[in-house]
């Protein structure tokens, strides 16, 4: 059953996600990062990419996995930053 959709997230969610846009290279990575984070914050008992893709509207496993695999922040950690709103 599809449970989440990006349109259902509050405006503060997108504003908070924008703080990490400089770490992501493409619009697709930025979009999928939001899907991934939404999946982590969602109500699903299992927090893995496959389950997140199944529970979200217009999210595919391949796109979500590719975004996480290609993100440059896996190579070396980004500089610490304050993420408080």
Q: Is residue 80 part of a domain?
A: no
* The dihedral sign for the CA sequence 32, 33, 34, 37: positive
Question: Given a cut of 80, is residue 68 above it in pLDDT?
Answer: no
User: Is 19 inside a domain boundary?
Assistant: yes
| Overall pTM > 0.85 | no
pLDDT at 67: 72
In a domain, 11, yes or no: yes
**Residue at 32 is within a domain:** yes
Distance, CA of 28 to CA of 79 (rounded, Å): 23
| Of the candidates 5, 1, 3, the residue with the CA atom closest to the CA atom of residue 58 | 5
- What domain count does the chain have? 1
* 12 assigned to some structural domain: yes
pLDDT of 74 over the 60 cut: no
Q: Which domain holds residue 18?
A: 6-74
Render pLDDT for 36-45 as a digit per residue (tens, 0 to 9): 888 888 887 8
Would the pLDDT of 29 be above 70? yes
């Amino acid at each position: 059953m599809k449970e989440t959709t990006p349109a259902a997230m509050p405006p503060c969610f997108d504003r908070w996600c924008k703080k990490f846009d400089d770490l992501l290279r493409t619009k697709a990575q930025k979009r999928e990062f939001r899907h991934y984070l939404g999946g982590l914050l969602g109500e699903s008992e299992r927090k893995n990419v496959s389950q997140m893709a199944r529970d979200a509207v217009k999210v595919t496993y391949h796109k979500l996995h590719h975004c996480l695999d290609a993100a440059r922040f896996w190579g070396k950690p980004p500089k610490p930053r304050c993420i408080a709103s």
